[in-house]
Amino acid sequence: MRRVAIVGIGHTKFGVRNASLRELAFEAAREALEDAKLTIDDLDSLIVGIVSAEFAKMVSPGAQIAEYLGINPKGSMRVEAACATGSAAIRAGYMTIASGLSDLVLVVGCEKMRELSTQEGLEIMSKAADTKWEYSFCCTFAGYYAMLANAHMKRYGTTEEQLAMVGVKNHSNALNNPYAHLHKKINIDDVLNSKMVAYPLKLYDSCPLSDGAAAVVLASDELANKFEEPIWISGLGVATDTASMMTRESYTEIRGATLAAREAYKYAKVDPSDIDLAEVHDAFTIGEILAYEDLGFCKKGKGGELVEEGETEIGGKIPVNTDGGLKAKGHPLGATGVSQAVEIVTQLRGEAGKRQVEGAEIGLSHNVGGNGQYIFVTIYKR
């Protein structure tokens, strides 16, 4: 099986964008191709990650983006795995190249979420969970993650202040990321005093709804070595948890993340201690604390202490969400996993400026679809 590397990256500003879905995709794709010094004609295929056609008010947004980018008549496809769609798209591109079907693949993740009201957007996202027994009784993702937070607090003593520290850290990191949706410095009191969403999660424990896109160019090993600084996809792990929360064995972990991480570490021949930085799925602050534990960065129940001790800050033992994470960078659903890859490539190239992790050689992304229905863990090396 052939090795696969990222040889080009592109990213739009996340936030409220006065641009269509196809225009956002074009913006990210153009930047990725320019970074790789390629044109659309050099590509073999296109993979587009988009979660919901309802957001974009289209039936087949992937096809319309393919036409807008000018990839026709070469092959294209759309991938969907809820909030982990971007990572699923990268995995699909990886498999396309590793199998020998293609040599150069463009992966674009994008979402246009601000066309609808917050209430409409939350209703669409809630359909990603069990639609018979949970969505129909008005369960939302804030509610699901609140269940996880309450269970973790009860069992391990995790505090609301520790949850708030995740938000404060990620807002601080986002200040040095020009692509981030939220450029606002906050403190613990700001989080604790913000509007309650679903106890104990508050407004500042929650990520914003965002428009945006990100793109990467993937290349086979034969071609990648011709580029100046390829970043290799060295480990992939995937797992799928139950669609319904009521059938979960535990609310103090996302079991699929542990399984996906184990697979990715084995594939890459590394251990958690080898990871220099991580991009994790912090749609809600408890999600980042769970990720610390599920990924093996600390023991179960110690995630709150890890952030409190400053170990996940830039300069700490394991810097997490150096770009601001979903919490402050934003969360255009289909773009998030690709955006995580862009940040890791930027870090491994040494191009992250004020948010640079010195000497970074190995990065990990952790992307959760829904509340754990899809989990992708991907490891990248220089």
Looking at the chain, the number of H-run helices and the number of E-run strands are 14, 11
Q: Are 115 and 121 in contact (CB under 8 A)?
A: no
| Encoded tokens for 113 | 């979420």
Can you list the alpha helix ranges (DSSP code H) found in the chain? 21-36, 53-56, 61-69, 85-98, 118-126, 141-156, 160-174, 188-192, 221-224, 255-268, 285-294, 303-308, 325-329, 336-349
Give the span between the Cα atoms of 129 and 370, in whole angstroms: 7
Give the span between the Cα atoms of 108 and 4, in whole angstroms: 17
What residues form DSSP beta bridges with 285?
Answer: none
Phi/psi at 318 (5° precision) = -145, 90
Q: Are 206 and 142 in contact (CB under 8 A)?
A: yes
DSSP string of 33-55? HHHHT--GGG-SEEEEE-S-HHH
Q: Are 292 and 249 in contact (CB under 8 A)?
A: no
DSSP reduced 3-state for 93 = helix
Give the span between the Cα atoms of 53 and 311, in whole angstroms: 39
In the chain, what's the furthest Cα-to-Cα distance?
A: 57
Give the span between the Cα atoms of 11 and 85, in whole angstroms: 16
Q: Of 11, 171, 331, 366, which is the active-site residue? A: 331
Q: Of 83, 110, 139, 207, which is the active-site residue? A: 83
Give catalytic status of residue 366 as yes or no.
Answer: no
Give the span between the Cα atoms of 196 and 112, in whole angstroms: 26
Give catalytic status of residue 11 as yes or no.
Answer: no
Beta-carbon contacts of 29 under 8 Å, excluding residues fewer than 6 positions away, are 10, 40, 69, 106, 108, 213, 215
Active site residues: 83, 331
